Structure 1
Amino acid sequence: MKPIGAFSLVLHSHLPYVLSHGKWPHGMDWLNEAAAETYLPLLKTFNDLVAEGHSPKVTIGISPVLCEQLSDPVFKQDFKSYLAMKIESAKIDRTAFEKVGDDKMIRLADDWIIFYQQIHDDFFQKYDTDILGAFRKLQDDGQLEIITCAATHGYLPLLYEDAAINAQVKQAVVSYERFFERKPQGIWLPECAYRPYHHDWKSPLGEDTPRTRFGVEEFLDKHGLRFFYVDSHMIEGGKALGVYLERFEALKKYYEQFDGSYTNLKDEFKRNPYQGYMVKSRDQFEGQIYCFIRDPKTSLQVWSGEHGYPGDGQYLDFHKKHYPGGHRYWRVTSAQADLGQKELYQPDNIYGRLEENSSHFKNMVKQILQHEGQDAEGLPIICSPFDTELFGHWWFEGPRWIYKTLKLLAKDPEIKLMTGSEYLNQVDTYRVVSLPEGSWGEGGYHHIWFNEDNQWSWELIYAAEKKMLEAARMWSKHSDPRVQEALKQLARELLLLESSDWQFLISTVAARDYAETRIVGHHLDFTRVYELIEKLVNGEEPDAEAWQHYQDVCTRDTLFPNIDPSWWEGYDLPEEK
């Protein structure tokens, strides 16, 4: 039977660099939680599907900075201690529940002991502590596709220098080749944020002479990438779907402030979100780069806290925790229930909900392909992109839902599971489109990442970008090896400073103090490393305190061993034809 269309589950995995930058509540435990609750359970999901003869065909992005952390011995050792703590705390909970004779809570504590012991065994025995290697094997076997992301999740449209965007993408490709032993085909643009070609771009900080800027697609094409993803409003116009508003109350003020700033596109032809498009924002660009469109219907069905599957009253509640171990023993109950009204989690009630939700999703996919999808040119494709951490961390049952859903989809001969590259290799005709500037954030623009609360961070980033370009142009070929090594560390600190996580955390207020500390800290480290280099090239010897600070920074921020400062020497536009 000929398929009526394709479905592509797209997962974006990312955490900022937290190694040696705090532990709890902000820092290393973010990484430990994601590994235990999301990455390892998803590996089990994918391998179980493969063992049963069903290829998941998921497209999963793993950001370069996350790759660096998952492969670092510091993480592996800390993760061992973290798992031991979670198992021991569940045992302590069990003992406490035994004393009061609460059999239901005892069972739930036992479930946590079993869960974390299984995670421990998978990590240390099945995967030999190599999470990336386990994903790489699935890719090498043709079961899924791994795509990359900007090096430290820099918010590309707002970076001041084209050379800074170039370096974020170049480091992404180089890191991918190091970890996955092949070239990446696709990339997840941080926050799905895109900017077209501008001949009169001005800094959002104001007081800037207009200048020419590349479209983001040109950087991707330059480094051999073939495709990326955008939100549906970027292709259809209108309001952005948004992905964070329901999870972060603090974002509502930005949404209300900028509501109405969405784009209405000209109808040169009907743009269907269920097909791929070739992207071109100026006539002189001769490359081939494609975009896939986020489907709003299937995305809302999973993302929405109010209407989506994770909000089902039977599923494990994310917010209510039992301390000191932090284990969760309660269910969502209802969208209106406060923490005191949460009822006890009942695992036996989950199976039916998962069956119903996965069947509902599969039927939704089929209905879309049968109706809206048939207006697409070529094979219609539904792309459903999500933050990977939604599955398992935010929604505990998420990996099991993915297992059941992909299994149902794989067994339907009218639906073809496909990765991004597979679709591009099969479909050979594409419409060419120009995209507006925007993101998948609330309001569809940059407001979460540039507003009155975090504007000051961009002043520091822009100043550092300019200094990095100067340093690369003046000293990248300096004969002193100490200068060369210091330039590499300077580049690392700039990339860490550029992480879009800091602005996001400030806007959500979720970890505002931590984010502000990281911004100020990386800017200070960048400045002091720059000053040390200046002394060296001027024939002066930095004092002992300066050397000690430099060594401390190098010991703490060890990511990207193959970084090259010459990437920042400059990035010139080709002559316009």
Structure 2
Amino acid sequence: MNRLSIVLHTHMPYVEGFGTWPFGEEWLWEAIATSYLPLLDVLDAHPGKVTLSITPVLADQLEAPGALERCLTFLREIRPASHGLDAVDHPQLAAQIAYSAAHYESAVESLERRGDLLAVFAPHVSWTSAATHAVLPLLATDAGVRLQLETGIASHRRRFGTWDGGFWLPECAHAPWLDGLLEEAGVHLTCVDWSASLQAGPYTTEAGIFLVALDRAGIDRVWDARGYPSHGDYRDSHRLTERAHALWANDGQPYDPERGAARARADAEAFVASFDGPAVVAFDTELFGHHWHEGVTFLQRVLELADVAPVGIDHASDGPGEIAPSSWGAGRDLRTWSRGELAWTQRSAELAALGADPSDRALRELLALQSSDWAFLIDSATAGDYPRERAEAHYQNVFAALAGESSDELRNLAPELAKWAFVQPCVQASRRTGRSFS
């Protein structure tokens, strides 16, 4: 049986305390209820198989004072009330509403039983990421990259104790000039999503970083718009009630959980059989359970059937020569995050902070501004004005903080702020200019 490595990248933007409905911290409560808690049961049953990352910015929110209590309030009070209202509007879908309500009730029991989510995830977490999920090749300076790297790695070490150098590049965004900074921070291994012509490997760079090429064909069997989750048997995650409950299948029929689960197990068997050699695939953790309701069942069956092992390096070739910046976004380049004004806004705020004596608040606002999520959500037009408003507010707050204004609004973000990485004397000599955006 061919070896399969599965990387699950667990990430949410900093939404805790920033809005509720329809956009804001309820995104986090939904991810906890529908993805993280069910996934923990699967990981506990198959320890040591999956390569799991949790971004520092997600961990910041999971340990924020009062966050899990607000999540429980949402699950105990808001969701039961919303199911009750949907029952009035959709009496013909009573069975589907009861099924949905039961899942939230199960999440309450699971969260109460497990308590500290970071503690129960800890045995499974091996990789970390940048502090706030910035697209590192688009940052203006080496100092900005160091701030993201060192803050994120310090966060991981404090929470999880050990780290062997596995690092998830946000959005798989890689550029050759990053490799030296990654090596300096202690990174040894990461994944890249290159074009088909470069998907051999793994490679080792001149800086000693192992680059593992993802199996794009394998990922697309799941991730593509025509992939497994689009089958008519599955729960439709786009057609929702007025209170954001999914009650229908993709084929328009009332959702049948047994039919969906049977399809997930069949697709898992087809997925495992589709590989004709060793492969590494990666997915957002939130796909499983949250965006794809049956995804946890699919993953569980894959782990039962396949020879799954963590990402490792048995051999590596020299780098493939001159390569362009890449990501898993549109065109496999950086255009998803570099289009529009936001990339320039992020860079100008970074340069302003580097030329000043930034306070901790200024650097936290900068980190929040640099999140890749705002550009992605603007590009996909799936969250209204929320991402643009968030980015504009953080941009204004960088300059307010540089002018001396104080605030505790981001008090839970980046508690291991590696300010030294940004303001050390040598950083003035480390500016980079002329970086390509594509």
TM-score by length of 2: 0.91
- 3-state SS, counterpart of residue 38 of structure 1: helix
Contact 1:187 1:228 in 2 (8 A): yes
- 3-state SS, counterpart of residue 448 of structure 1: helix
Contact 1:302 1:309 in 2 (8 A): yes
Matched, 1:122 2:10: no
Q: Deviation of residue 272 (structure 1)?
A: 5.3
Aligned letter for 1:162? D
Aligned letter for 2:305? L
CA distance in 2, matches of 1:146, 1:295: 21
- 3-state SS, counterpart of residue 73 of structure 1: coil
Q: Deviation of residue 106 (structure 1)?
A: 2.5
Contact 2:264 2:295 in 1 (8 A): no
Alignment-derived partner of residue 449 in structure 1: 337
Matched, 1:87 2:80: yes
Alignment-derived partner of residue 515 in structure 1: 387
Alignment-derived partner of residue 303 in structure 1: 223
Alignment-derived partner of residue 226 in structure 1: 188
Q: Deviation of residue 328 (structure 1)?
A: 1.4
Contact 1:278 1:288 in 2 (8 A): yes
CA distance in 2, matches of 1:461, 1:350: 43
Percent of paired sites with the same residue: 29
Contact 2:204 2:316 in 1 (8 A): no
Aligned letter for 1:332? N
Q: Deviation of residue 183 (structure 1)?
A: 2.2
Aligned letter for 2:326? G
CA distance in 1, matches of 2:344, 2:224: 34
Alignment-derived partner of residue 421 in structure 2: 567
Which of 398, 408, 412 does residue 554 from structure 1 map onto? 408
Aligned letter for 1:278? T
Q: Deviation of residue 347 (structure 1)?
A: 1.7
Matched, 1:108 2:96: yes
Q: Deviation of residue 83 (structure 1)?
A: 0.4
- 3-state SS, counterpart of residue 8 of structure 2: strand
Alignment-derived partner of residue 189 in structure 1: 169
Structure 1 residues 351 and 500, CA gap change in structure 2 (3 angstroms): closer
Structure 1 residues 96 and 467, CA gap change in structure 2 (3 angstroms): closer
CA distance in 2, matches of 1:155, 1:352: 38
Which of 7, 11, 17 does residue 10 from structure 1 map onto? 7
Structure 1 residues 419 and 441, CA gap change in structure 2 (3 angstroms): same
TM-score by length of 1: 0.70
Alignment-derived partner of residue 291 in structure 2: 394
CA distance in 2, matches of 1:299, 1:108: 30
CA distance in 1, matches of 2:260, 2:343: 46
Q: Deviation of residue 294 (structure 1)?
A: 1.2
Structure 1 residues 466 and 41, CA gap change in structure 2 (3 angstroms): same
Contact 1:232 1:295 in 2 (8 A): no
State the number of aligned residues. Answer: 425
CA distance in 2, matches of 1:444, 1:95: 46
Which of 173, 177, 180 does residue 153 from structure 2 map onto? 173
CA distance in 2, matches of 1:184, 1:25: 39
Q: Deviation of residue 443 (structure 1)?
A: 1.1
Contact 2:172 2:327 in 1 (8 A): yes
- 3-state SS, counterpart of residue 8 of structure 1: strand
Aligned letter for 2:161? E
Contact 2:129 2:169 in 1 (8 A): yes
Unpaired segments of 5 or more residues in structure 1?
A: 140-144, 197-214, 238-270, 281-286, 334-341, 370-380, 410-415, 473-485, 533-545
Alignment-derived partner of residue 279 in structure 2: 382
CA distance in 1, matches of 2:172, 2:54: 14
- 3-state SS, counterpart of residue 449 of structure 1: helix
Contact 1:488 1:564 in 2 (8 A): no
Matched, 1:419 2:310: yes
Contact 1:278 1:433 in 2 (8 A): no
- 3-state SS, counterpart of residue 338 of structure 2: coil
Q: Deviation of residue 221 (structure 1)?
A: 0.9
Alignment-derived partner of residue 278 in structure 1: 204
Q: Deviation of residue 429 (structure 1)?
A: 4.9
Contact 1:148 1:184 in 2 (8 A): no
Which of 459, 463, 467 does residue 344 from structure 2 map onto? 459
Structure 1 residues 418 and 395, CA gap change in structure 2 (3 angstroms): same
Root-mean-square deviation over aligned CA pairs: 2.0
Which of 452, 468, 482 does residue 353 from structure 2 map onto? 468
Alignment-derived partner of residue 365 in structure 2: 493
Matched, 1:69 2:61: yes
Contact 2:194 2:327 in 1 (8 A): no
CA distance in 2, matches of 1:354, 1:407: 13
Alignment-derived partner of residue 245 in structure 2: 327
Structure 1 residues 88 and 59, CA gap change in structure 2 (3 angstroms): same
Alignment-derived partner of residue 232 in structure 2: 313
CA distance in 1, matches of 2:318, 2:131: 30
Aligned letter for 2:328? W
Q: Deviation of residue 490 (structure 1)?
A: 1.3
What is the CA deviation profile of residues 96-143 of structure 1, one whole-angstrom value per residue up to 9, with x for unaligned ones?
Answer: 66xx5x4xx222222122211111111111x11x12211103x3xxxx
- 3-state SS, counterpart of residue 321 of structure 1: coil
CA distance in 2, matches of 1:429, 1:384: 18
Q: Deviation of residue 313 (structure 1)?
A: 0.2
Structure 1 residues 360 and 518, CA gap change in structure 2 (3 angstroms): same
Alignment-derived partner of residue 431 in structure 1: 318
Contact 2:150 2:418 in 1 (8 A): no
Give 1:158-169 correspondences, 5 Å limit. 158-169=138-149
CA distance in 2, matches of 1:468, 1:60: 33
Alignment-derived partner of residue 378 in structure 2: 506
Which of 268, 272, 276 does residue 362 from structure 1 map onto? 272
Aligned letter for 2:99? D
- 3-state SS, counterpart of residue 208 of structure 2: coil
CA distance in 2, matches of 1:193, 1:500: 10
Aligned letter for 1:73? P
Higher gyration radius (CA)? 1
Q: Deviation of residue 391 (structure 1)?
A: 1.2
Contact 2:261 2:294 in 1 (8 A): no
Aligned letter for 1:387? D
Aligned letter for 1:117? E
What is the CA deviation profile of residues 242-276 of structure 1, one whole-angstrom value per residue up to 9, with x for unaligned ones?
Answer: xxxxxxxxxxxxxxxxxxxxxxxxxxxxx653x42
Contact 1:91 1:113 in 2 (8 A): no
Contact 2:168 2:190 in 1 (8 A): yes
Q: Deviation of residue 400 (structure 1)?
A: 0.8
Unpaired segments of 5 or more residues in structure 2?
A: 431-438
Structure 1 residues 419 and 19, CA gap change in structure 2 (3 angstroms): same
Q: Deviation of residue 146 (structure 1)?
A: 2.6
Contact 2:194 2:326 in 1 (8 A): no
Give 1:530-549 correspondences, 5 Å limit. 530-532=402-404, 546=405
What is the CA deviation profile of residues 173-202 of structure 1, one whole-angstrom value per residue up to 9, with x for unaligned ones?
Answer: 001011111125211111111112xxxxxx
Contact 1:69 1:75 in 2 (8 A): yes
- 3-state SS, counterpart of residue 554 of structure 1: coil
Q: Deviation of residue 229 (structure 1)?
A: 0.8
- 3-state SS, counterpart of residue 351 of structure 2: helix
